[in-house]
Chain A
Amino acid sequence: MSDTGKTSAPAKVSPAGKVMRDGLWYNNPIFVQVLGICSTLAVTNNLRNTLIMVLGVSFATSMGSMTLSALRELIPRKVRMIVQVLVLSFYVIIIDIVLRAYQPAISKQLGPYVGLIITNCILMGRAEAFAASNPPGLAFLDGLANGLGYGWVLLVIAIVREFFGFGSLFGFKLVGDWFTPWTIMVMAPSAFFLVAIALWIANNYKAKVAAAAKAAAPGAAGAPAGQGGKP
């Protein structure tokens, strides 16, 4: 869960901008850190459920990071972990209650996966790596950026899975009856394959950018490419 920032955003932008860029791309939770794919992969065969989960995760990471950052001077180091978990579960409970009240059908479909946001590694990872040593405002942005950075990747995967699996997006049928749904896209294996493919594309793109930067400035030490794939 370390935030070593192997490839980080250019230094000339403001701290807030850097935090946003890191979360959305340079230090994307899925491509670089490979964290937190557990609880959300299960719902990515349906775009609407994915959107709700992504919003939930973004809410919990941003608010949780902000709270923990505000409390960081008060929490004794020894009980840090359990305090973090308790604060995060507080926000997840809010999400669960709101969903139950306003979207009971979706809440039922998501089942245990809403509660599982608590154990989403991104939450703990950001709390530990960023919120523990940064002011609340920045921690909020960092949580939000990571939640959204994680979210856009999952939404892309959900679009592919729902389109090929059901021939629809957000439940609206987009193709005619001639279309044979790919059952595999609805089932678990396809999620693993699609994340791997997304990771592959991102790594190759990063390698290309790094190679181009190296060619442009031969003396400067360009960031080594493709490190995200090597844990």
Chain B
Amino acid sequence: MIDAPSVGLLSLFLASILTSNVLLANFLGTCSFISISKDFKSSMGLGVAVTLVIGITAAVCWAVLYFIIQPLGIEYLSFIIFIIVIAGVVQMLEMIIDRFSPALYLALGIFLPLITVNCAVLGVILFMQIRKYSFPQAVIFGFGSGAGWWLAIMLLASIRKKLDSNNAIPAGLKGTGITLITIGFMAMAFVGFSGMIAVQ
């Protein structure tokens, strides 16, 4: 049915976290990344939520892609279908978390619905479609990318905790400016991982 690339699952997982980090190498999900990383606790909640959503939607979208979209030949509708699947998964996850863990639900708050428009989720799914991953690869890639995003936002939130109270930063660079520079340095550090595992 599909000619999946021959990549081991473990190396795919590590690669999606480190070498091709969804945020630092592919710029996906930068908007919420910058605004949420101000607060350490929210970053934690959002990181968990994003990881869960990407992992689950990758699995669901894989099934939708190969059992519905391709047999019917409606590839031109795939963007709309993926967005609907993402919105549906987010909605369902919201209800499940509300039912089983009200504390986590409260902690996630507004972030859960906002994940629908997080570029990282749709980005991972489009990458999965383009690279023709098999089902296990898609799931591993989804969770790995989510974990990579989570790692990046936790790192940045910890740095910003110290940085935002620093008065030596020029006025014009405060806030978003210095955050972008910090992300740039983090991206440089992550470039150091490249070559460790090659995956495309």
Chain B residues numbered 117-171 whose CB sits less than 8 Å from any CB in chain A:
117-119, 121-123, 126-127, 129-130, 170-171
- Are A89 and B79 neighbours in the complex by a CB distance under 8 Å? yes
Cβ of A36 within 8 Å of any chain B Cβ, yes or no, is yes
Cβ of B64 within 8 Å of any chain A Cβ, yes or no, is no
Q: A90-B80, A229-B177 are in contact. Are A119 and B118 (CB under 8 A)?
A: yes
Q: Which of B24, B79, B118, B129 contacts A188 (CB 8 A)?
A: B24
Query: A40 to B177, alpha carbons, bound, how many Å?
Result: 18
Measured between beta carbons, the chain B residues less than 8 angstroms from A203 are: 171-173, 177
Interface size class of A (residues with CB under 8 A): 35 or more
- Are A189 and B79 neighbours in the complex by a CB distance under 8 Å? no
Q: Which of B34, B80, B127 contacts A93 (CB 8 A)?
A: B80
What 1/0 mask marks residues of chain A from 101 to 143 whose CB sits below 8 Å from any chain B CB?
0000000000110011011110010000000000000000000
- Are A41 and B116 neighbours in the complex by a CB distance under 8 Å? no
Measured between beta carbons, the chain B residues less than 8 angstroms from A191 are: 27, 184
Min Cβ gap B138→A in Å is 14
Cβ of B35 within 8 Å of any chain A Cβ, yes or no, is yes
User: Chain B: how many interface residues by the 8 Å CB criterion?
Assistant: 47
Measured between beta carbons, the chain B residues less than 8 angstroms from A111 are: 126-127, 130
- Are B29 and A38 neighbours in the complex by a CB distance under 8 Å? yes
Cβ of A42 within 8 Å of any chain B Cβ, yes or no, is yes
Q: A189-B191, A199-B177 are in contact. Are A37 and B30 (CB under 8 A)?
A: yes
Min Cβ gap A89→B in Å is 5
Measured between beta carbons, the chain B residues less than 8 angstroms from A220 are: none
Cβ of A34 within 8 Å of any chain B Cβ, yes or no, is yes
Q: A112-B130, A199-B176 are in contact. Are A97 and B76 (CB under 8 A)?
A: yes
Query: A196 to B130, alpha carbons, bound, how many Å?
Result: 31
Cβ of B70 within 8 Å of any chain A Cβ, yes or no, is no
What 1/0 mask marks residues of chain B from 9 to 36 whose CB sits below 8 Å from any chain A CB?
0000000000000001111111100110
Cβ of B178 within 8 Å of any chain A Cβ, yes or no, is yes
Measured between beta carbons, the chain A residues less than 8 angstroms from B34 are: 34, 231
- Are B181 and A192 neighbours in the complex by a CB distance under 8 Å? yes
Query: A116 to B84, alpha carbons, bound, how many Å?
Result: 14
Cβ of A226 within 8 Å of any chain B Cβ, yes or no, is yes
- Are A85 and B181 neighbours in the complex by a CB distance under 8 Å? no
- Are B123 and A112 neighbours in the complex by a CB distance under 8 Å? yes
Q: Give 18 CB contacts A-B under 8 Å.
A: A38-B28, A38-B29, A90-B80, A112-B122, A115-B79, A116-B123, A187-B191, A188-B27, A191-B27, A193-B184, A196-B181, A201-B172, A203-B171, A225-B171, A229-B176, A230-B174, A231-B34, A231-B176
19 A-B pairs besides A119-B117, A189-B185, A207-B171 with CB distance below 8 A are A37-B27, A38-B30, A38-B31, A42-B26, A85-B87, A89-B83, A96-B79, A112-B123, A112-B127, A116-B123, A124-B117, A188-B26, A188-B187, A192-B184, A193-B181, A196-B173, A200-B170, A226-B172, A231-B35
